[in-house]
Structure formats: C-alpha cells, structure tokens
Amino acid sequence: VRRITPAGLVRAGVFLVALVVFPFVFGEHWVLNMLIFTLMYAGLATAWNIIGGYTGYISLGNAAFFGIGAYALAIVFTHTGVGSGYRPFYLLPLLAVGVAIASVPIAWVALRTRAATFAIVTITLLFVVQQLAFNLRGLTGGSQGLTLPIPPFPVAHYERPFYYAMLAALCLSLLVSWYVRGSRLGLHLFAIRDDEDRSRGVGVPVTSAKVLAFSASAGLTAMIGGVWAYYISFVYPQFAVDPLVTIGMVLMVYLGGKGTLWGPVIGAFVLVPAQQYLAYRIGASEYYLVGYAAVFLGIMLVLPRGILPTLADRWRAAQNRPSGPSWRTRKAEAL
Amino acid sequence: MHVLLQACILGLLTGAVYALMASGLTIAFGVMRVINVAQGALIILGAYLSYELFVRLQIDPFVSILVLTPLTFMLGVGLQLVFIRPLRSDEREELSLLVTWAIALGIEGVLSVLFSTTYRSTNTSYADNSWVVGGYHLSEVRVFAFALSLGLLGLLFVLLGFTRLGRAIRATVQNPTSARLLGVNGDVVSAIGFGLSVATATAAGAVYGIIFPFNPGSHYDLISRVLSIIVLGGLGSLGGAVVAALFMGVLEAVFAVEISPEWSSFVFFIVLIGMLVVRPQGLFGSTVRGSL
C-alpha cells in the first residue's frame, strides 16, 4: 500500500523547504544550535519508531548505537588520516551501513525475547557499550574520551554544515520510515506488532523482519551519532552512551504518536526546544532532572497515545457526528 | 585455591543482597506485569535514608530497616496508586517501563539536589571488622547483610506461601481474572505487592550503603545488574531470581579475582547473552503466565 498523495507531497515539501531556508533567515548561533539538536532528536525518534512504533518492540538501547556511531567517527579520526572539513560527512553513509550490518547478531540475540524481557535486554546493551567505552582505553581513550579537531568552517556560519548534515540524516530516516510503512516489510512489522504468533502461523518471516527493522533503526541512529560527535567535537562514555538520549527519543515518539510517520518529528519539535528552555532557565542539572521527570510523567499519564492519534480521533469523531454514532455513545457501548 | 574459595564466600555473601533486590522486582512483575526500572533508584533512596538516620541520630542501619520499611511500603503503595494504576492494563507492561524510568530520574534528581553527587558510605563502627574462620576472612557487615537478606527472603516466602494475603497474591499472579472472580480484590493486591517490592528495595539499600559507596547516579549500575538477574532466573520466578542472584554474585567475585576486577560487571552480560541464545525464557521462567 504505497501511496504518494498530493497532501503528503505538500507536507514533505513544505517541511523540507522551510528547514532548508531557515538558516538564511535566522542565522543566530543559539537558534541554529537548538535546531541542530531538534533535528537530531527528530531523526533519532524517527529511527526508533521503526522498531518501537511499527514493530512494537520497546528498545531502550538505541542510545548504544548512537554512542557506537559517535565513537566510530571519533576513532576513524584519531587512528586514520581522514582529514578535516567536509570529508568526514562522506563517511557517514558507510558508517550507517557498517553499524546496521554489525548490529544483526545483536538483534538476533535480543529479539529472541519479547516485550518486557526485550526491553531489559536492550537496557543492558546500553550499559555494555558504555562499559566498553570506559574499558577499551587504547581505542576509546577511556574516561578521558576522544577529542576531534575543530573543522575549519567560517566562524559566521560555523553551524551550517552540521545543520545540513543533520537535516540530511533526518530526511534519510524519514524516507526509510516512509518506505517501510508502505512496503511488504511494513505489513510484516505491523502484523508482528498486532499478534506475533499468529503472524508466524500465516507465514510471515517473523525473525528476519524484526532483525531487519532493528538493524535499520540501529544504522540510522549510528549515523546521527556520527554527526553529533563531529559537531560536539569530543566524546565521553557518559555523554555518548547516555540513558537520557534513549529515553528522550522514546518519549518524543510517544508524545507525537507511536507508529505514525510524522509523530516522532512533531514530538521532537515540541520537546527539544522545551527541554533546552528548561535547561536554560533552571541551569543546575539536578533540578533539570527533576523537571524532566515531571514533564515525562505528565506526558505518559495525560497523553499516552500521542498528539497525532489523539487529533485523528477527534477529527474522525467530528466527521462522524451527523451520521455515525457519536463519541459518547461509542464510549457507552465500550463500557 | 585459597583465593578462589575466599572469592566464592565473598560472592555468596554479596549474592544474597542481590537476591533481596531482585525479589522485589520479581514480585512487582508477577503481580502487575510491571518492570520497575525505579527499583535501583529506590535502593539508593533506601541507602540515603539509612545513611541520614545513622549520621544524624546514630541509628544502626540494621535497626533503621525496622523504621524505614513500613514507611517505604506506604511510599510504594502511593507510587502504585498515582503512577501505575492509571495505565490501561493492555499497555501497562510497556508504559510502566517508561513511567518507572521517569520515577527513577525523579528520585535521582531529588537525591542530587539534597545530597549532591559526592559518594557516600555508611561507616558503621564494625564496617571494617571481620572474623577469621579456618583462614578465611568473613567481613562482619557482609555476614550480617547475608543473614538479613536470607531472613527477609524467608519472611517473604512464608508470607507468600502460608498466609491469606500470600495466597491472594499468588492467585493474582497466576490468573488475575479468576482470582477476581473468586473474590480477590486485584487493586488492593497490586498495591500491596508494589509496596512490598519497594520495602524490600529499601531494606536492600540500607545494607548496600554499608557495603558499597554510592551516589545518586549509582542506580543505573544497580538496575542493569538486577534486571539481568531476573531475566536470567526467568521473569516472575522468585526462586529463579534467588538462584540467579547467588550464582551471579559468586561468578562476579571469582571473575574479579581470577581475571580482572574492571571487567567483572561484564560477567552479568556475557551470562545473560549465553542464556538468551540457549534458553530465552531464563532458568526457571515459563512461556505462559506462571507462578511466583
């Protein structure tokens, strides 16, 4: 069921054009800095949505692949003469493919479990990668981390290359996400989400579909991690493999609407600026954590279905009111 | 050989504390299908509470458990009522992971505000004492911790196995619908189950604070270990959790002595991966909804 609708094209076109033009209109460093993180989380959330939203497997270890991508880029920098400037950006697609392939065995082991057990296994994956970053000192620099050279971009437009790299990564994630939705793979994933045993029974290649979704998600996440590392220009174990990054992308998907195409992007565009504002106003990281937890709990308890599905329901209810049963009677029936 | 045996003893003593931590997690999962990611943070909270009681009022941590567990039992019931109960039952398993993670962040944040992030340790007068039995050193604190953990686990087994409440809890674990049909109030059982789980976390935390230094961020390290343990034992199996905890305690200590202390926490993950490849449901786990 691939569909290229005019409305969809317009949505994508407006989104892309607005973001491409944006740096030429608002060039302030802090605005672009915030937007780079917004794009980053939009990409991460979109990538997470492929395994978490479409397939229904709550992976809490995606930040592990973010860290792997960040470290991979930093290690290539320090151990080979890849050169500064724009050259590292060309490595990113290679990085995505490499990590996606490398994640296949991990996916195979982790996906032998389901539901809560899968979530636990992916949480431990997060700590495995963090521990590796600490302990493999020869490669990762241990707790000192790795520093990347500052690229020679003009100071006035320093953020621009990173901005467009993030935008490109987001667009690629959205393209993959959109393609998967309409493809045979997407149908398999939705079937698995609804009832895995029955899907297996009717001949859905359950394992390969799940592994493919997991690896695609991992590869995209790693690529975004690579851009992040180059932009930040240093990687530490605690920053690169951060539980808050995992929980951030998951939260944005839930806020925007799990399993929808644009939901994760909307979630990121609402939450990241709010997050940055919170950090700016509150400052001290301890209070920040408390505020973050409060926002998090509020979203989970008030809007667990997300913005887009809730809006869609409202809209459908408004459409149906004259003829079909109203929302109230439907609720009464359900009770 | 001497070193190896010494490590085994140490591991067994620590393993019992892990078992206490894991038992609470298992009960919460059994009763409500809730993975409580905040268990690690609640353990650290218990460590801080008993630390404060010790520093300010000179109450021994082992005594303060008597005061703290009823209090945190109420805290657990409160958390369950406010945060877990509103979740719809068909998505509870999935959403509870995120909600309890948020609770963990909240607790970590509050603890960092109150106590800063410097490492603390409850230094009792007997913290460094040890008995020597047949050439082996038995740290007093660890022996007390071992005894306490086994005692509390024993109490838990008696509570679950031989009381009316225990029967109601086990019935809810096995089949919530039938249990309700037979007059078990599922909401009350869930609240009590969660309260029990939080109370065991506090008790374990009070002990943890004497054995290991801790700060508000320590809960990540703890929860990753305890979660590996309950997956290893089989989600929802209390006996499995205890066996896995003791086994991992010993293995970790032996690995630390024989190979490298730096990589010792890796043992958890290596064993976990091995188990998933061979037997994804864990040691004593069942593929259908089981019993405690």
Residues B172/B186, Cβ–Cβ less than 8 Å: yes
**At residue A315, what is the residue type?**
W
* Shortest CA distance from B107: residue in chain A: A290
With beta carbons less than 8 A apart as the criterion, state whether A180 and A186 touch: yes
CB atoms inside a 10 Å sphere around CB B239? 16
Q: State whether residue B231 sits within 8 Å of chain A by CB.
A: yes
How far A23 CA lies from chain B's nearest CA (Å)?
A: 35
How far is Cα A215 from Cα B207, in angstroms, rounded to an integer? 42
**What average pLDDT does this structure show over B64-76?**
92
Q: Residue B112 is nearest to which of A119, A244, A289, comparing CB atoms?
A: A289
Q: How far is B144 from chain A (nearest CA, A)?
A: 30
Q: How far B145 CA sits from the closest chain A CA (Å)?
A: 26
CB B206 within 8 A of CB B61: yes
The structure tokens listed for A9 are 């094209």
Position A326 scores a pLDDT of 47
Residue appearing with tokens 């003791």: B246
- Across the interface, do B227 and A123 touch by the CB < 8 Å criterion? yes
Which chain A residue's Cα is nearest to B35? A116
Contacts of A15 (CB under 8 A, 6+ apart): A265
Identify which has the larger pLDDT, B234 or B104: B104
Confirm or reject contact between B259 and chain A (CB < 8 A). Answer: no
Q: What is the mean pLDDT of residues B273-278?
A: 84
Of B112, B104, B121, the C-alpha closest to B221 is B104
Q: Give the C-alpha separation, B140 to B107, whole Å.
A: 31
On whether the CB atoms of residues B200 and B156 are closer than 8 A, the answer is yes
Higher pLDDT, A147 or B70: B70
Phi-psi region of A56 (alpha: psi -120 to 50; beta: other; left: phi over 0): left
Answer yes or no: do B272 and A124 touch at CB < 8 A.
Answer: yes
Of chain A, the percentage scoring pLDDT greater than 70 comes to 93
Residue A121 contacts B where some CB pair is shorter than 8 Å: yes
- B231 min Cα distance to partner chain A (Å): 7
The confidence band for A285, taking pLDDT boundaries of 50, 70 and 90, is low
Of A177, A229, A302, nearest in space to A71 by CA: A229
Task: Tell me which chain B residues have a C-beta less than 8 angstroms from the C-beta of A285.
Answer: 112
Cβ distance of B277 and A109 shorter than 8 Å = yes
CB contact under 8 A, A286 and B113: yes
At A328, is the pLDDT very low, low, confident or very high (cuts 50, 70, 90)? very low
Angle between helices B266-278 and B219-233 (to 10 degrees): 30
CB-closest option in A124, A250, A289 to B109: A289
- State pLDDT tens for residues A36-56: 999 999 999 999 999 999 998
Q: What is the pLDDT of residue B281?
A: 77
pLDDT in tens, B245-274: 999 999 988 888 888 877 877 888 888 888
Q: Which helix (H) or strand (E) holds A266?
A: helix A263-282
pLDDT digits (tens, 9 = 90+) for A118-141: 888 898 899 889 888 888 888 888
How far is residue A240's CA from residue A133's CA, in Å, rounded to a whole number? 9
pLDDT tens digits, one per residue of A209-255: 999 999 999 999 999 999 999 898 888 888 888 888 998 899 899 89
Q: CB-based contact (8 Å) between B261 and chain A?
A: no
> Which residue in A113, A243, A300 is closest to B276 by CB distance?
A113
Subunit contact A109:B276, Cβ cutoff 8 A:
yes
More confident residue, A293 or B49: B49
B152-156, B160-164, B205-209, B278-282: least confidently modelled range = B278-282
- Region of poorest pLDDT, from A163-167, A240-244, B120-124: B120-124
Cβ of A247 within 8 Å of Cβ of B37? The answer is no
Contacts of A239 in chain B (CB under 8 A): none
Smallest Cα distance from A189 to chain B, Å: 18
Residues 60-79 of B with CB under 8 A from A: none
Which residues are CB-contacts of B118 (< 8 A; sequence separation ≥ 6)?
B215
pLDDT value at residue A243: 87
Instruction: Please answer yes or no on whether A121 and B110 come within 8 Å at the CB atom.
Output: no
* Strand duo B136-139 + A146-147: pairing: unpaired
Top pLDDT among B20 and B174 is at B20
Phi, then psi, of A78 in degrees rounded to 5 = -80, -25
Mean pLDDT of chain B: 86
Alpha helices in A1-61 (DSSP H): 6-25, 29-49
Looking at residues B171-177, what average pLDDT do you find? 83
ipTM of predicted complex: 0.84
Is B223 within 8 Å of chain A by CB? yes
Q: Do B112 and A254 touch (CB under 8 A)?
A: no
Q: Looking at residues B131-135, what average pLDDT do you find?
A: 79
Cβ-Cβ contacts under 8 Å, B94 against chain A: 58, 115-116, 119
Q: What is the pLDDT of residue A335?
A: 38
Q: What are the angstrom distances between the C-alpha of B84 and each of A318, B165, B226? A: 32, 21, 21
Which of B28 and A208 is assigned the larger pLDDT? A208
CB B23, CB B200: distance < 8 Å: yes
Calculate how close chain B gets to A291, using CA atoms only, in Å.
Answer: 8
- Residue A301 binned pLDDT confidence (cut-offs 50, 70, 90): confident
Residues of chain A contacting B220 with CB distance shorter than 8 Å? 127, 243
Residue B255 and residue B146: Cα distance in Å, rounded? 20
Where are the strands (E) in chain A, listed by range? 146-147, 234-235
> Is residue A98 predicted with pLDDT exceeding 80?
yes
- Closest to A286 (Cβ–Cβ): which among B109, B230, B273? B109
Judge contact between B110 and B45, C-beta under 8 A.
no
From the list B235, B268, B277, the residue facing A117 with the nearest CB is B235
Question: How far is Cα B129 from Cα B138, in angstroms, rounded to an integer?
Answer: 9
Higher pLDDT, B22 or B127: B22
Cβ distance of A293 and B106 shorter than 8 Å: yes
Instruction: Give the separation between CA B62 and CA B20, rounded to whole angstroms.
Output: 15
- Reported as a single tens digit per residue, the pLDDT across B4-26 is 888 888 888 889 999 999 998 98
In order of A29, A33, A227, the CA distances from A167 in angstroms are 17, 13, 10
Highest mean pLDDT, choosing among A215-229, B78-92, B129-143: A215-229
Three-state DSSP string of chain B? CHHHHHHHHHHHHHHHHHHHHHHHHHHHHHHHCCCCCCHHHHHHHHHHHHHHHHHHHCCCHHHHHHHHHHHHHHHHHHHHHHHHCCCCHHHHHHHHHHHHHHHHHHHHHHHHHHHCCCCECCCCCCCCCEEEECCEEEEHHHHHHHHHHHHHHHHHHHHHHHCHHHHHHHHHHHCHHHHHHCCCCHHHHHHHHHHHHHHHHHHHHHHHHHHCCECHHHHHHHHHHHHHHHHHHCCCCHHHHHHHHHHHHHHHHHHHHHCCCCCCCHHHHHHHHHHHHHCCCCCCCCCCCCCC
List, in sequence order, every residue forming a beta bridge with B131; answer none if it has no partner: B138
In the predicted structure, residue A334 carries a pLDDT above the cut 60: no
Query: Is the CB of residue B94 less than 8 Å from the CB of residue A57?
Result: no
Q: How many CB pairs under 8 A join A and B?
A: 114
Burial A260-269, CB ≥16 within 10 A → b, else e: bbbbbbbbbb
β-strand partners of B136: B133
Residue from the list A112, A243, A296 with its beta carbon closest to the beta carbon of B220: A243
Q: Is the pLDDT of residue A286 over 80?
A: no
Assess whether pLDDT exceeds 80 at residue B287.
Answer: no
The pLDDT value recorded for residue A322 is 55
Would you state the pLDDT for residue A177?
94
Give the best residue of B32, B96, B227 to mutate against chain A (max A CB count within 10 A). B227
Mean pLDDT of chain A: 86
Compare CB distances from B97 to A119, A135, A304 and report the shortest one's residue. A119
Whether residue A11 has pLDDT greater than 60: yes
Task: Enter the tokens of residue B125.
Answer: 């007068």
Chain A interface includes B138 (CB < 8 A): no
Terminal-residue alpha carbon distance, chain A = 34
Q: Cβ distance A167 to A19 under 8 Å?
A: yes
Q: A136 in contact with B at a CB cutoff of 8 Å?
A: no
Report the C-alpha gap between B34 and B194 in whole angstroms.
9
Determine the Cα–Cα distance for residues A140 and A124; give it in Å rounded to an integer.
20
B289 touches B178 (CB < 8 A): no
8 Å CB contact between A245 and A229: no
Between the alpha carbon of residue A236 and those of residues A70, A144, A242, B223, B226, the distances in Å are: 10, 7, 10, 22, 25
CB contact under 8 A, A290 and B265: no
Instruction: Please tell me the predicted confidence (pLDDT) of residue A209.
Output: 94
Q: Which residue of A has its CA nearest to B38?
A: A293
